[in-house]
Amino acid sequence: MNHKQICTFITFHLCFTLAIICGVYGQRIVTIQLDGTQYYVSKMNPYASELNYFLAYQYCRSIGLQLVSFETKEKADSIAEYLKNAGYSQHDFWTSGNHLGSNMLLWMSTGLPFNATFNYMKKQEGDEPTVPSGPLPMGRRKRGNGIGNTGCIALKAHSLDWDTEDCTKLKDFICEQTRCYFYNYGSIPVSSAQG
């Protein structure tokens, strides 16, 4: 690529990202409540197009939500059952799962490793059941030539198993209500005159 093509490419992507962010304000979004948590399923909303992993993450944050994480088997089963019953199981959906920057599968939205008590990673022929919170087994690593390649976890169409995917592919996505964390910060009363 020459300099002009690179500038055009960067300008297009910046404009696209800004259009998504700016378009969010003023649109009415539809969420569902499932087991006490609000979810945004992009397929249900006419404003949301398929996005790559990074833009999906950014979109969720721009509407006050986060990409979905599955810390419990019940939560994973509940979402999968809803998607099947609603007729959305023929689509791929981004989750916040990834192994970007490490060999360990993590939920980006919470920072937690995958729960070792259940595993919905798609089984490859010859794969033994693995504990997903440990390093990604050699058979599951897909080679790529960039950080965006095969480091992100999606719910795969039909079975809704989890599988590694190229982070730059366009997919639907699921956002969830942001959890509120309370920290024990000690505050000291001061005035602006005290510097």
- Tell me the pLDDT band of 103, cut-offs 50, 70 and 90: confident
Asked whether residue 18 carries a pLDDT value surpassing 70, the answer given is no
Query: pLDDT over 70 for what percent of the chain?
Result: 64
User: What per-residue confidence (pLDDT) applies to 14?
Assistant: 43
Mean pLDDT across the stretch 28-42?
90
pTM: 0.70
For the domain made up of 3-140+148-177, give the CATH fold. Answer: Mannose-Binding Protein A; Chain A (3.10.100)
Identify the residue whose tokens are 């055009």. Answer: 8
- Tell me the pLDDT band of 187, cut-offs 50, 70 and 90: low
